Chains A and B, each alone.
Chain A
Amino acid sequence: MASVLDPRLHTDTEIASQWRLMWWSFRRHTLAMVGLVIVLLLYLIGIFAEFVAPFDPQSASAKHVYHPPQMIHFIDSTDDGWRIKPWVQAYTLERDKFTLQTTFKPDEGKRIYLSFFGKGTPYKLLGLIPAERRLLVPDEPNERFFLFGADRLGRDMLSRTVFGTRVSMSIGLVGVTLSLLLGVLLGGISGYYGGAVDMVIQRVVEFVLSLPTIPIWLALTASLPASWPPLTRYFAITLILSLVGWTELARVVRGRFLALRSEDFVVAARLDGCSEKRVIFRHMLPSLMSHVIASVTLAIPVMILAETSLSFLGLGLLPPTISWGVLLKEAQNIRSIAQAPWLFVPGAFVLVAVLALNFLGDGLRDAADPYAQERG
């Protein structure tokens, strides 16, 4: 017995709290770490969309309709030698004399030079803080460049995708927050009171789960007046998405709550004289939290996919709001994607975001109960 408490054998694990143990077990999960980095990056892009985007996402340019993507180069080698300076090859618009079809041809002689953190068109960061520095701008204020190409109105796809990231990623977060509020509230009530209340809530959950979500979402969003301002519509759509999303969370919360309620250490806390409030918040919630966080992370991609699908069908967010789904609506037409395959770029973002969130969520779920292995 003394050997276990031998001071020389003390490892960090013995005094590690729940969160540290979870972090240690999470850290071992390489994919989850990759997911974490990507998710953080996407949210940073979303927050600083104005800074990251080189141009105003709404500014159209007839000259640049379906401008192809340009490759960014970092080393500028001219006859005088070379230097480190980002640039892209300029393109010129050519019109076929007979068919009158327009094509973009690289203009070998012309390079568009770019600068990091240069001054671009002024903007307000998050609509509040006025600024004019941007991540990457052309040295000539009148030049434009298109790393992800341009759409049918000549708008920069990179800037649009960046702003789409803000809306799509935030809709996941806001929607999940709403779901969580509903889910924790109803799941908690269900698990705590049990009996008839539990019965009713469980039946409702079962019922909602048995409905095909998309037709219901479609019908709900179709009944939203098209005249609503973008922000109202944004919240209405989020609310509709979370109306369905709460069920899964409610089930998780209820299941955990019921399991925990009969755990010996919770009974012990009650016998220690803890009030009902303290039992729940001090003794049960910490065990619940990690599982809820994992479930929430896994619910975000579902929300993102749902929003993308709805907007893609033209029943979710509507232009001028920009989201990945709204952008992909442009790719609905087979002729436009055949001509401009770069319209798929927002799709790649959806894919990456959903994958990253899934990896992250899986890692969190595995790490959620760092005590699980040793009990068996």
Chain B
Amino acid sequence: MERIATADPGQVVLEVKGLVAEFPTRHGPFRAVDGVSFDLRAGETLCVVGESGSGKSVTARSILQIVDTPGRIVAGEVLLHRHRTARGTGAEETIDLARLEPRGKAIRAIRGRDIAMIFQEPMSSLSPVHTIGNQIAEVIRLHETVSKKEARARSIELLRQVEIPRPESAVDRYTFEFSGGMRQRAMIAMSLACNPSVLIADEPTTALDVTTQAEILDLIKRLQESHGMAVMLITHDMGVVAETADSIVVMRHGKLVERGSVEDIFYAPQHDYTKMLLQAVLDLDRPSERRLARRAVQAIGGPVVEIRGLVKEFDLRHGFMRRKGHVLKALDDIDLTLHEGENLGVVGESGSGKTTLGRCLLRVHDPSRGEMLYRASGGAVADVATASGNGLERIRRDIRMIFQDPFASLNPRMNVAQIIGEPLLVNGVASGAALRSRVAQLLDVVGLPAAAMERYPHAFSGGQRQRIGIARAIALEPRVIVADEATSALDVSLRTQVLDLLLELQERLGLSFIFISHDISVIRYFCDRVAVMFRGKVVEIGETEEVCTNPQHGYTKALLSAVPHPDPRHRGMLGRHRYEAGA
């Protein structure tokens, strides 16, 4: 690429002043962005951080005036200092993007050329019916007069830049033929097509696994350095912020809460909300003190669940004579033991088989081979893998599950009393008035008022719903709880609350947990031991602290080094460990 942008680093190229964006609703206009101001400097990364609904995404889209209808900018300026970029003519040239006609030529000439944008979900953000090459070449030909052939050659070159293997053939492929990480790379290639001076990345790694996230962030960083771009990175993850930011804007409810350099925000936060956000992340980055204290008083007991040689195969063969597809080994010879009063973490990326493991233990899926021995409180041992009828019912009373998605796991057509009461009712534990008082008591345990009983799930927030799910899980006084990504759908500030609730319940009810998560910090907080899963196998198992600080297996090392640390002084991603599976 001959024309690499070479703006002076540190120059302000984009200035947002008092930006206000509104969405009309039935109850009057809703201010999604309320008076936000910040600067973007060439060669620097600005992170905009906030929890869901903070207006960070609308802010980003307002810059290019591509807010989803009916949203619109009502006030403020978005100044692009073009003369300070490589594209500038030298003459004083400052354009207020907020004043341009949203469908007009002027702003269209800026979109994709001066300012490019990448989005969260690369699958749905790219057209499924056009080839990658077609979509990249389109940007080039839109802003520059080049031949089709040249545009194609440049597309291939761009794909090579973002490290997509075999770019000559990749250029003719469709998005669904790529993995998530590759799609996001293609998206980045597309955004770089015209050497923009500003790159806006809206949660670019949220949909990706942590190792892929590290690679993508890494790529953006390197491209930023070589192109001298200003990057605006929108994220909810303080770890990502610490790893990438030069300066930070914290947003909440559409308002700018605090802004400053990365050091200022992380080491001297002024606003309570920023402090709270940081605290929530920092809390999670170490073992729960409550758990450690408890273990000192009450030692972990003997085995409750012993999984031996567990195999689960999914038959994906189809077509005539089942000649297409293959048999997927989701679980490959798993051995695990859960002790009484212990929290066993299972960590892995998507497709590692961790969810299948949890579901096999409850016989949502029937395992293909192996045994899962459950030791009941009386000492009797039963094999969950072969149990059926009454035996399975009894086991399912003792082993319960908490689901990931608090929206999907509660029947929207039943009220809270019915949802929590269902296991009590069908198992004949209680009915009528006794049932109601038991439900009220359970609600109290999980920190919800008894008045919640009559309400339907839609009346509750995500965190509250998860509490309802927990109340349902503990209703039958179980001994083991399988929590499958129980905190992943929650904002970070709510995670510790829910985890603390689970720890409290553990003390009160003597529970043992199998805690499945992709998030190593949550595991570190909550779990005594951790099993690392990779492609259906447990590659490493041990005390959580031991595994986290001194990983043995190559994959564990790669996984841990890819986790962004919420400490800007210990940026670890560039020197991180990479693991190439021998498959």
Contact = CB atoms under 8 A, between A and B. Distances in A.
Interface string A1-45: 100110100000111111000000000000000000000000000
A270 B364 contact: yes
B408 A265 contact: yes
A14 B423 contact: no
B231 interface: no
Given A1-B461, A15-B415, 7 more contacts: A4-B460, A5-B464, A17-B413, A18-B412, A264-B404, A271-B396, A375-B407
Majority SS at the chain B contact face: loop
A273 interface: yes
A287 B413 CA distance: 7
Interface residues of A, number: 29
B400 interface: yes
Contacts of A268: 401, 403, 409-411, 469, 472
B397 A273 contact: yes
Nearest to B453: A15
B412 A13 contact: no
A271 to B, nearest CB: 6
B206 interface: no
A15 B401 contact: no
A274 B410 CA distance: 15
A374 B469 CA distance: 19
A360 B414 CA distance: 26
Nearest to A374: B458
A61 interface: no
A271 B473 CA distance: 10
B502 to A, nearest CB: 17
Contacts of A1: 461, 463-464
A268 B484 CA distance: 12
Given A264-B408, A265-B408, A274 B422 contact: yes
A283 B411 contact: yes
A286 B413 contact: yes
A18 B464 CA distance: 20
Contact of A272 (B413, B423, B464): B423
B426 interface: yes
A213 interface: no
7 contacts: A1-B463, A4-B461, A4-B464, A14-B458, A263-B408, A265-B411, A270-B364
Contact of A273 (B393, B401, B408, B464): B393
A85 interface: no
Contact of B449 (A5, A275, A283): A5
Interface in B470-512: 472
Contacts of A17: 413, 415, 456
B464 A15 contact: no
9 nearest interchain CB pairs?
A14-B459, A264-B409, A272-B423, A264-B408, A265-B411, A371-B412, A18-B413, A14-B455, A286-B413
Contacts of B454: 15
B492 to A, nearest CB: 15
Interface residues of B, number: 38
B405 interface: yes
B451 A5 contact: yes
B422 A271 contact: no
Given A7-B451, A263-B408, A16 B456 contact: yes
Given A264-B408, A265-B410, A283-B411, A13 B459 contact: yes
Majority SS at the chain A contact face: helix
B362 interface: yes
Contacts, number: 83
A278 B418 CA distance: 13
Contact of A269 (B411, B415, B464): B411
A15 B401 CA distance: 26
A224 interface: no
A267 interface: yes
A17 B455 CA distance: 9
Contact of A274 (B408, B426, B456): B426
A247 B408 CA distance: 29
A52 to B, nearest CB: 39
Given A5-B452, A14-B455, A17-B456, A272 B408 contact: no
B207 interface: no
Interface string A220-263: 00000000000000000000000000000000000000000001
Nearest to B497: A1
A272 B422 contact: yes
Nearest to A284: B411
Contacts of A375: 407
A275 B458 contact: no
Contacts of A15: 415, 454-456, 459
Given A1-B461, A15-B415, A269 B407 contact: no
B261 interface: no
Interface in A284-315: 286-287
B372 to A, nearest CB: 15
A280 to B, nearest CB: 13
Contacts of B408: 263-265
A16 to B, nearest CB: 7
A42 B426 CA distance: 44
A264 B405 contact: yes
Contact of B458 (A270, A271, A371): A371
A83 to B, nearest CB: 50
Contacts of B405: 264
B279 interface: no
Interface in A87-105: none
Contacts of A374: 458
B427 interface: yes
Residue of A7, A14, A287, A374 most packed against chain B (CB within 10 A): A14
Residue of A1, A265, A269, A272 most packed against chain B (CB within 10 A): A272
Nearest to B448: A5
Contact of A271 (B401, B407, B448, B463): B401
A287 B451 CA distance: 25
B475 to A, nearest CB: 8
Nearest to A11: B459
Contacts of B455: 14-15
Nearest to A275: B426
Contacts of A267: 364, 403, 409
Nearest to A3: B461
Contacts of A270: 364
A272 B414 CA distance: 14
Nearest to A15: B454
